Amino acid sequence: MQPGQLVLIRHGESVWNKLNQFTGWTDVELTEKGRNEAKCAGQLLKKRKFVFDYCYTSVLKRAIHTSWIILDQLDQFWIPIKKTWRLNERHYGKLQGLNKEAIIETYGSEQVQEWRRSFEAIPPQMEKSKNLNLYYDRRYYDLDYKKIPAAESLKLTLKRLIPFWKKYIISKIQKNQRVLIVAHGNSLRSLVKHVSNLSNDEVYNLHIPTGVPIIYDFNNDQYPIQYSFLKE
List residues with catalytic annotation. 11, 89
Distance between CA 53 and CA 65 in Å, rounded? 18
Is the separation of the CB atoms in 229 and 84 below 8 Å?
Answer: no
